[in-house]
Amino acid sequence: MLLPLDLSAFPSRSYLINCIRAENFEKKDDAALKQPLRRPISYFFRLFFTPSYLIKESLMKLSKTIFALTTLTLAFFLVACGSSGKKDAANKDATSSKTVKARSLEEIKKSGKLRIAVFSDKKPFGYVDNDGHYQGYDIYLGDQLAKDLGVKPEYVPVDAANRAEYLIANKVDITLANFTVTDERKKQVDFALPYMKVSLGVVSPKNAVITKPEQLEGKTLIITKGTTAETYFEKNYPKIKLQKYDQYSDAYQALLDGRGDAFSTDNTEVLAWALENKGFEVGITSLGDPDTIAPAVQKGNTELLNYINDEIKKLGQENFFHKAYEKTLHPTYGDAAKADDLVVEGGEVN
């Protein structure tokens, strides 16, 4: 049985139309909607008595409003993320330069490992052989330092440009990556006594040998980032175009491919490379002031520094570094070099 409905209880048609048009949504008198009528029935009659074109118009307005709100929300989200990203990047840059305290000798002993930064692509000083093992002159010393400390060596591959950074960030305890001692680097790390002496050399194709730096003006010289060669040529020969690489292997490959006219780094390295790569010659065997190569530790890590210095002095009495030369360098250099021209025993440069 259907009950009679009192239509006077419903909101007026004009009121419903005004509501749908959204012209008075903010100010409308909602008293009629508060009358004792169930809301589902009220909404049904609103929809029933409203022309279809008004419903369509309202829906279009609603869709535009939703689109605008969505766009604003998305824009706000992107700006917020962008700001957050910039802050994160800034924080990362800021923290990357901060010093993380180095491990003490006791902590190193407890860990059972001495973390040593070395090259993985710089034969015969630091490289990985076909069996995946580290080999070379620097490795020979690293093995001994770890052994005498009663721990195992853990070799960490580095590029020339991040040797100091790894010490500062406490990613390694010692750097043995053929690290040339310079005044600029002394501001970042502490160097132990030297175990090798070098100067810069330049290797180039035999059919276009470079015998003096002036020949490179207007030409391209390949160098590795973060090396003494980079600093030397930028300071003394600004007219030479430098082509820079992060990895030594990439730099040598660039020379092989003809992307540059010559390559410069320590004379010990270019000499070894030229002996293994026919068609290339070290036309400049010594350039600039002679330098020394030494182990490095985080600045202020006196305890570890003293241990290394004591080791170098003790090993010097055993002629350790000449033995290391015969074991690791002589197979490469042969008669092209002499041990006394490269090796430093006991930290004393002759």
Read off the pLDDT band of 8 (50, 70, 90).
Answer: very low
Once rounded to an integer, what is the mean pLDDT over residues 181-197? 96
pLDDT over 90 percentage in the chain: 63
Give 204-226 pLDDT, tens digit per residue: 999 999 999 999 999 999 999 99
Q: What is the pLDDT of residue 63?
A: 56
Once rounded to an integer, what is the mean pLDDT over residues 55-78? 56
Domain architecture of the chain: domains with CATH: 9-50 (no CATH), 105-194+294-341 (3.40.190.10), 198-290 (3.40.190.10)
Whole-number mean pLDDT of the chain? 82
This prediction's pTM:
0.64
State the virtual CA torsion across 211, 285, 213, 177 in degrees, nearest 10. 140
> How far from 134 is each of 3, 33, 167, 254, CA to CA, in Å?
95, 84, 20, 24
Once rounded to an integer, what is the mean pLDDT over residues 164-177? 97
Read off the pLDDT band of 18 (50, 70, 90).
Answer: low
What CA–CA distance (Å, rounded) separates 190 from 192?
Answer: 7
Q: Which has more pLDDT, 339 or 133?
A: 133
Q: Which has more pLDDT, 291 or 13?
A: 291
Among the ranges given (53-67, 149-163, 182-196, 328-342), the one the predictor scored with the smallest mean pLDDT: 53-67
Give 77-131 pLDDT, tens digit per residue: 544 444 444 434 433 433 345 889 999 999 999 999 999 999 999 999 999 999 9
Tokens of 279: 């068609």
Q: What is the pLDDT of residue 288?
A: 86
Q: Which has more pLDDT, 50 or 326?
A: 326
Give 20-41 pLDDT, tens digit per residue: 454 444 444 444 444 444 444 4
Q: What is the pLDDT of residue 118?
A: 98
DSSP for 267-295? HHHHHHHHHHSTTEEEEEEEEEEEEEE--
What CA–CA distance (Å, rounded) separates 231 from 223?
Answer: 10
